Structure 1
Amino acid sequence: MMWRAISEAEPGPKWAGLFQEYWPDYKRWWLKEGDSARPSYGESRRALVKHMPEIVPLYDQLCELAGGGDQAARFLSFYCPPPYLAGCSQAIWPGKEPVLVRNYDYSPTAFDSLILHTSWQGRRVLGTSDGLWGMVDGMNDAGLALSLTFGGRRVVGEGFGVPLILRYVLQTCTTTEEAGAALERLPTHMSYNVTVLDAKRRYLTVMMSPDKPALVTRAAVATNHQETVEWVSHARFTATVERERYLLQRLTLHRDPEEKFIKAFLKPPLYSIAFSAGFGTLYTAVYRPRKRQMEIRWPGTVWPLSLDDFQEGGRSVQIPGAA
């Protein structure tokens, strides 16, 4: 798998080139249930104006760079996208310099393999791209970091794909409290758990759902269920309960040093090679928001990245179990 780290302060030719490269695959995914299954451009933009007005100018700018097409604009709204599932484990290591650590478990054929460093609308953001402006984990220059896991529920409703919700939070929020309030009010199309850590060591996990109010918790750990397991077969397959218990034990029964805790994500039961069944661990991300630094890790490899001293580059990675 080839990863790239790309920096572009304002949306421009680099982002436009990325869109043209990725759009054929995203278009097939977006239309897999038919064009009429997705909301119109008008519906999509009105939803953005209602719920995320601060980033509508950015959205309009990206639509223009993408060529101004109807389907591209609807896709970029992330409003009511096709359902998608991921695995994932995430936890806060609560040391003097707290760390957010996460595994992203997904299909390698449906992943951007892209780290974006942007200064859109005057806010510097660094993180792992999804949909070319959404994010599955990231950090901003206020020292706010966050990541997502799938919430383990089948229900699909009217709302946004969670990667755009993460981008919105990183663009508009500076503290855990602000992020929690935004996550609590924003409509999501599926159930997700979003864990947030800020520069003042405050953290929370918001359990978001399309059919009931979001639940704001003080949980330091999130895997692929919410308060209780609803989707039993998915829970068994992903070992979500076992992974949650494992992480809680590492945090409470015998507090691991930071590096030992991080390395636990690179081994079972947290690390998965179940790519033949649809998804395995594509990477481990480590966020140190007080230092505004992140790392992407694979077994035997660490790629350090800095929000303040970002270096473009690439990594070719052999992921165990991935074709």
Structure 2
Amino acid sequence: MSGYYSDVIQFKGSHYDFGYMQGERLKESPILSRREIQWAATRKRHFNIDQTEATALFSRFIPGMLDELQGLADALEWTMEDALREFGGYYVEYEKSGCSILTGPNFMIRNYDSDPAFYEGRYIVYQPTDKGYATIGPTMQITGRTDGMNEKGLAMGYNFVNRVRSENGFICNMIGRIVLETCADVQEAIALLKEIPHRTSFNYVLTDPGGDTYIVEASPRKVVERRSAISTNHFEILTEENRYRTEDSMRRRDELEKRNEGLDAFTAYRLLNDRDQGIFASKYGASAGTIHTSAYLPAEGKAMFAIGGNQKPVIFNFSRYLQGERINVTKMKGMLDYHLPFINMD
């Protein structure tokens, strides 16, 4: 077992200032140099953008992101094209992952399963002063989110389904950021997910303080929604988009269905986070090991987070933060059965 940590970053201000602050932090971090090494062999194929097209789509769906990207570019002394390529979340391939999500009337619990060697170790609490809703959650590709909740209580997580037959569009983490920053409730999020272009196939799980949960099955070709409290790594409606092998995804779904009766948020959290419950995974080398467990309680305005299994979660009172109370946590630590560090770690 090895020790890991995620940095907690909180910021209130304009998108440009937020981007500039992140760029300043990145200059002191190993994240960019390690990403450069990881993507060196495939950068030409994966990081291919049309700047005009990407800019037009950001202007349409989340214009504040252009300011954030400009702030990043200015701090790093990059061109805007470089910032779009590295942090824009448009056209870029996404590392495959597992992931299980369980919801109830007042919670969403999510296991993020992937390879720790690609994990950024950044947990962001951001309250924009120019445009968009305040959000809380872990990052991916700096500007994107793996899961999260916004000030309206809309919570979002996603599950990888398939990268075959990809098309031009946004990848999951940027779509997650756009959903959280621009949508007030589940219905607005569903409408957005039907409009935005999707690079690859993912389930997007949505819940809000009203307690309804929808799973949006989104591929580059079609987007449909259904009601369910459980999501893993396959589609139930768009089955033609599934990977050839879905046995483990269906096993986790069936296991959660058998035990999803009358659970409160903490019991549901333990079901996903405890190593001996059958949902937590340790296949890190296959990009399918549980790195973090997130929990969101929309009606209470609270979020929980833990790295690794059998962990007591750190609890964030997001509602109090929005009222001006500062969060005192700067790092969250945990243990994983793996040998390579997160890319934010020295």
TM-score, normalization by structure 2:
0.83
Among 191, 194, 209, the alignment partner of 1:199 is 209
Q: CA-to-partner distance for each residue in 1:259-299, whole Å, 9 max, x for gaps?
A: 32221102342100111333300011110111111111341
SS in 1 for 2:59: helix
Deviation at 1:50, TM superposition (A): 4.4
- Asked if the contact 1:108–1:322 (Cα under 8 Å) also holds between the matched residues in 2, the reply is no
Q: Which residue of 1 aligns with 2:197?
A: 187
Partner of 1:17: 24
Say if 1:242 and 1:162 are closer, same or farther in 2 by CA, change over 3 A. same
The residue type paired with residue 313 of structure 1 is: T
Q: What aligned pairs does 1:233-244 form with structure 2 within 5 A after superposition?
A: 233=245, 235-236=246-247, 239-244=248-253
- State the shift of 1:12 in Å: 5.6
2:118 paired with 1:110: yes
**1:74-110 CA distance string (max 9 Å, x none):** 222211002421110002122xxx1000000011110
Q: Which amino acid aligns with 2:286?
A: A
**Equivalent position to 1:162, from 153, 172, 190:** 172
Give the structure, 1 or 2, with the largest relative contact order (CA under 8 Å, sep 6 or more): 2
- Correspondence 1:89-104 to 2 at 5 A: 89-94=100-105, 98-104=106-112
Cα distance, 1:142 vs structure 2: 1.0
Report the residue type matching 2:331 in the other structure.
Answer: G
Cα contact 2:161–2:201 (8 A) shared by 1:
yes
DSSP 3-state at the match of 2:282: coil
> Secondary structure of the equivalent of 2:313?
strand
Q: For the residues of structure 2 that align with 1:319 and 1:29, how far apart are their CA atoms?
A: 21
Q: Map 1:260-279 onto structure 2 (within 5 A).
A: 260-266=267-273, 267=275, 268-279=277-288
The 8 Å contact of residues 40 and 74 in structure 1, kept in 2 or not, is answered as no
- Relative to structure 1, the CA distance from residue 167 to residue 60 in structure 2 (aligned partners, 3 Å threshold; closer, same or farther) is same
Q: Is the 8 A contact 1:144 1:176 kept in 2?
A: yes
Aligned to 2:258: 249
Partner residue, 1:258: 265
- Written as runs of structure 1 = structure 2, the 5 A alignment for 1:1-323 is 1-10=4-13, 11=18, 14-20=21-27, 21=29, 22-35=31-44, 38-53=48-63, 55-69=65-79, 70-94=81-105, 98-120=106-128, 121-122=130-131, 123-152=133-162, 154-210=164-220, 212-227=221-236, 228=239, 230-233=242-245, 235-236=246-247, 239-251=248-260, 254-266=261-273, 267=275, 268-297=277-306, 298-307=309-318, 308-309=320-321, 310-321=327-338
Distance 2:21 2:68 in 1: 15
Contact 2:185 2:208 (8 Å CA) reproduced: yes
Cα deviation for residue 124 of structure 1 reads 1.5
Q: Secondary structure at the match of 1:187?
A: coil
Structure-2 change in CA distance of 1:67 and 1:279 (3 Å): farther
Q: Give per-residue Cα distances to partners, 1:213-266, cap 9 Å, x unaligned.
A: 211111221100012373233x23xx1001111112222xx4334332221102
Take 1:322 and 1:105, find their aligned partners in 2: how far apart are those partners?
Answer: 16
Q: Aligned-pair RMSD on alpha carbons?
A: 2.2
Please report how far the alpha carbon of residue 320 of structure 1 lies from its aligned counterpart in structure 2 after TM superposition. Answer: 3.4
Give a deviation string over 1:144-195, Cα, whole Å, max 9, x none: 1111110245232111111111111111111111111111211111111111
Asked if the contact 1:49/1:56 (under 8 Å) is kept, the reply is: yes
After TM superposition, give the deviation of residue 45 of structure 1 in Å. 1.9
Structure 2 CA distance for aligned equivalents of residues 78 and 49 of structure 1: 14
Q: What does residue 343 of structure 2 align with?
A: none
Please report how far the alpha carbon of residue 54 of structure 1 lies from its aligned counterpart in structure 2 after TM superposition: 5.5
- In 2, Cα distance between the equivalents of 1:12 and 1:74? 15
Unaligned 5+ runs, structure 2: 322-326, 341-346
How high is the sequence identity, in percent, across the aligned residues? Answer: 20
- Asked if 2 retains the 8 angstrom alpha-carbon contact of 1:129 and 1:135, the reply is yes
Inter-partner Cα distance in structure 2 for 1:285 and 1:51? 26
Report the AA paired with residue 200 of structure 1. G
Contact 1:8 1:15 in 2 (8 A): no
CA 1:31–1:160 in structure 2 vs 1: closer, same or farther (change >3 Å)?
Answer: farther
Contact 1:30 1:75 in 2 (8 A): no
Tell me the CA shift for residue 128 of structure 1.
0.7
| Offset at residue 36 of structure 1 (A) | 6.0
Tell me if structure 2 keeps the 8 A contact 1:147–1:196.
yes
After TM superposition, the structure 1 stretch with the greater mean CA deviation from structure 2, 193-202 or 12-21, is: 12-21
Q: Residues 43-74 of structure 1, C-alpha deviation per residue, up to 9 Å, x if partnerless?
A: 43233234444643343333333433332332
